[in-house]
Amino acid sequence: MSFLVDHQIKKAIEDGEIKIDPFDPKHLAPAGYYVTLGKDLLIPKKGETIDIGGDRNPEYRKVQISQKGHTLKQQDFILGETEEILTIPYNYAVFIDGRSSLARLGLEIHQTASFIFPGHTESIITLEIKNSGNSNIVLRSGVQIAKLIFFRTDEFATKGYKDIGDYAYQPDITGAKIKNNH
């Protein structure tokens, strides 16, 4: 297993192994690629009790980020999406990580789901966004919000995420799927 650096990521994109749409070469980092926040957010219903072994999915309200942005208050949690649609083959995997500058404000972009499996296909990435800071934070669509860290595995996976994933082929933001997930 090896992590990819900027020129390796660019070559994998040029060779069609990795697909990022839209792709912007200015978003290449020394060992990653910066992704931007999409326009849609899901706001979980407050006070709802969720049984993770139950048969009911949580409720969300879908909103679009306006020109003025979306204010994320202290301790608020929402779901966001990347503008980019990602496809990786069965011998690549990805970690998504926050940006240091935004983390210093208390902005988290994933709670525990930082790993993207081999075979992730034609899907946005859902971001689990939380403001753990002491100030309100204004989110804006199109802002670089996270980085993707690519690595090539030693072998091809026998099954890809597109074959088994609950959120495979996710064209836009999707809330938690609890129902029938046990």
Reply yes or no on whether the pLDDT at 13 is more than 90.
yes
pLDDT class for 177, splitting at 50, 70, 90? Answer: confident
Helix (H, G, I), strand (E, B) or coil at 139: strand
Residue 17 to residues 25, 59, 87, 105, Cα–Cα distance (Å): 16, 36, 8, 35
In a domain, 150, yes or no: yes
In a domain, 90, yes or no: yes
Q: Domain limits at 12?
A: 2-46+56-164
In a domain, 170, yes or no: no
pTM beyond 0.75: yes
In a domain, 179, yes or no: no
Reply yes or no on whether the pLDDT at 1 is more than 80.
no
Whether residue 128 lies in the annotated active site: yes
In a domain, 175, yes or no: no
Q: Give the per-residue pLDDT at 167.
A: 76
Helix (H, G, I), strand (E, B) or coil at 122: coil
In a domain, 11, yes or no: yes
Please identify which of the residues 81, 122, 128, 155 carries the catalytic annotation: 128
The model's pLDDT over 118-127, given as tens digits with 9 standing for 90+, comes to 999 999 999 9
Q: Do the beta carbons of residue 81 and residue 173 sit within 8 Å?
A: yes
- Total of domains in the chain: 1
Domain CATH number, residue 22: 2.70.40.10
The model's pLDDT over 91-126, given as tens digits with 9 standing for 90+, comes to 999 999 999 999 999 999 998 889 999 999 999 999
In a domain, 147, yes or no: yes
In a domain, 171, yes or no: no
